[in-house]
Amino acid sequence: MKDEKTTHFGYQDVPVGEKAGRVRQVFDSVANKYDLMNDLMSLGIHRLWKRQTIELSGVRKGHRVLDLAAGTGDLSARFSGLVGDDGLVVFSDINAAMLQVGRERMEDQGRVGNLHYVQADAQYLPFPDNHFDCVTIGFGLRNVTDKQLALNTIFHSVKPGGRLLVLEFSKPTHRALEKVYDLYSFTLLPKIGKLITDDEESYRYLAESIRMHPDQETLKGMMEHAGFERCDYFNLTGGVVAIHRGYKL
């Protein structure tokens, strides 16, 4: 019998068909404490990373924006204000629990007119070709089963002249920082997860998923392979996080 194809779930090899369900379980578990954990894990610096992403997006009034892996909506909220009443922000996440938490948060903030909510897998987007001025995926690409397929699919959904921005954990550029980061990720982070969410294993997976994600140059090459041009990246916090940008010309 032919062996079933596998992929990585953190440091584990699992059947390709199982990964999405396992990732879903992780985010079902952490959805209600997601914002608190983001602040604790990054000491609040994630807000600066997202602000830089917004500045690189080029989004303005009237634009259509797709925010993939939108989580609880930090990027979507900012885009909603930028595109105005004539624009559109599609708030999308593969996880129903995260989508619900994000929608409630946006409604609590009074952001209702130009936000649409779609549960979607980045690998199989239900949107027309050449539809969005900007697509973002923040801290979500590393959880996608087939990252290249997702990038290919995103390329089709971007308008000519539009751009993709990938905000994601990456590879520290200094060896000393990498050692400190590893110690934090595999020792302290799971214990914070246990204390706040009573779920140590989900945060151990998150740390492992970061290490398995392509480094800066590899991800840049994957974006170019998908068809994006003028691809570049910006290392933040010593490369702990990077913003990749590519254009559809």
Q: State yes or no: 85 annotated in a binding site.
A: no
* Residue 117 and residue 107 in contact, taking contact as beta carbons nearer than 8 Å: no
* Residue 205 and residue 143 in contact, taking contact as beta carbons nearer than 8 Å: no
Token code pair at residue 8: 């990585």
Q: State yes or no: 93 annotated in a binding site.
A: yes
Q: State yes or no: 133 annotated in a binding site.
A: no
d(CA 40, CA 47): 12
Q: State yes or no: 72 annotated in a binding site.
A: yes
- Which residues make up each annotated binding site for S-adenosyl-L-methionine? 72, 93, 121-122
Binding residues: 72, 93, 121-122
